[in-house]
Amino acid sequence: MKIGIIGYGIVGAILGYYLSKDSEHEVHVYDIDTYQGTKNAVGIICPWVSQRRNKTWYHIAKEGVKCLHELSCDMNDSSFMIQNGVLLFHENLDRFYTIALDHAKEEPIMGIPQILNQKAMTSLLPPYIKIPNQALFIPGGFQIEGATLLERLKQKSQIQFHQQWAHLTGDCGINGTDFDTICVCAGGFTSDLLDSFDIDSTMQKGMMLTLNDTYQTLPNQPVIMPQGEIDILSRNQVIAIGASHQDVFDSFDVETDVIEKLLLQTKTTIPSIKMDAIDSVMVGVRSVSKDKTPYITQLNKNVFVIAGLGSSGLTTGPYLAYKLSQFILKQDSDPSIFDARRVGEK
């Protein structure tokens, strides 16, 4: 089977890995690495304390965690994961602790949730962190380094990579080349690529900050989830802060006002932080659906689309990629994985 994949973010990379395992399949990947969400992301993996009430999202996310562990075992490589747990800083810890305990009964992979006091956290966090009186610790939470994951998957996949813009041609073609099956995993560029379809995908911009070496992280430092939209992670042994969620923007440029908002949210946890502490800013775009639910759909019987991952793509993407790979390989024939409501003709 000749398979074409458009986009080499987390979905395209995992699809390519599984589909190319069988030497009978010829897998071609098209990507130009422009404002790519996964490569520019360091992501927290801890869906069990999410405040989302979307049950479909939660199912995809919790299964995505399992898929990441299975992928790591299958590759015999965990270098893209930092497994130090997650600390939740929140004024209403009791509510989150109750939620976490309920999920832990069904998801042993998350470990046993614990309420830690200041003394217990002192050895886990550097002195520039303002440690609250208490925090919720989720031992099974971890973070993913997007660029490292993509590189490891490329090394272990039998794919043919084409660094070029892709567009659909004919019923099942890419740039004039015919395929038996095509998977569109174009992230934030999904709606541009499929502009002749009414696809449930809009582009969202995200910016992530990496601080200078004044803010080095400890080897055993957990991810921190302060109250608000940011997470405090580690990238190359220094603090990374992210990410913004911009539905309206004029360009892919770095925006000072957005950086200032991210820093303001960070100050409650890192009081000393200032603009001159920033070493670099990463910009990427995501696909967001109307109801914030990731999905798989079909343009026709041979062209599939995975989109709508939003800012949780490193958690939700692995499950959708795995499910679609199994369908294409005829190891899973369940048609319920497809959501026909997400696409129509213009």
- Reported as a single tens digit per residue, the pLDDT across 55-66 is 999 999 999 999
User: Looking at domain 2-345, does it have CATH number 3.40.1080.10?
Assistant: no
Identify whether the C-beta of residue 225 lies closer than 8 Å to the C-beta of residue 91. Answer: no
Mean pLDDT of 121-131: 97
- Reported as a single tens digit per residue, the pLDDT across 190-219 is 999 999 999 999 999 999 999 999 999 999
pLDDT category at 251 given cuts 50, 70, 90 is very high
pLDDT category at 336 given cuts 50, 70, 90 is confident
Measure the CA–CA gap between 54 and 292, rounded to whole angstroms.
Answer: 9
pLDDT at 29 over 90: yes
The mean pLDDT of the chain is: 95
Mean pLDDT of 78-96: 96
- Reported as a single tens digit per residue, the pLDDT across 295-335 is 999 999 999 999 999 999 999 999 999 999 999 998 877 77
Per-residue pLDDT at 228: 87
Identify whether the C-beta of residue 194 lies closer than 8 Å to the C-beta of residue 299. Answer: yes
pLDDT at 33 over 90: no
Query: In what order do the strands lie in the sheet containing 295-300?
Result: 159-162, 26-30, 2-6, 181-184, 303-307, 295-300
- Looking at the DSSP bridge assignments, the partners of residue 168 are 174
pLDDT at 270 over 70: yes
pLDDT at 113 over 80: yes
Cβ count near 216 (within 10 Å): 15
pLDDT at 346 over 70: no
Residue 169: φ, ψ to 5°:
-130, 140
Per-residue pLDDT at 43: 93
Per-residue pLDDT at 222: 98
Query: In what order do the strands lie in the sheet containing 223-225?
Result: 114-117, 134-138, 86-88, 223-225, 231-235, 238-242, 202-211, 278-288
Mean pLDDT of 69-85: 97
Radius of gyration, CA atoms only, the chain: 20
Q: Which residues of 100-117 are buried (b: 16+ CB within 10 A; e: fewer)?
A: beebbeebeebbebeebe
Of 331, 309, 126, residue with least CA distance to 232 = 126
Measure the CA–CA gap between 222 and 239, rounded to whole angstroms.
Answer: 11
Of 286, 303, 304, residue with least CA distance to 295 = 304
pLDDT at 154 over 90: yes
Model pTM score: 0.95
pLDDT at 45 over 90: yes
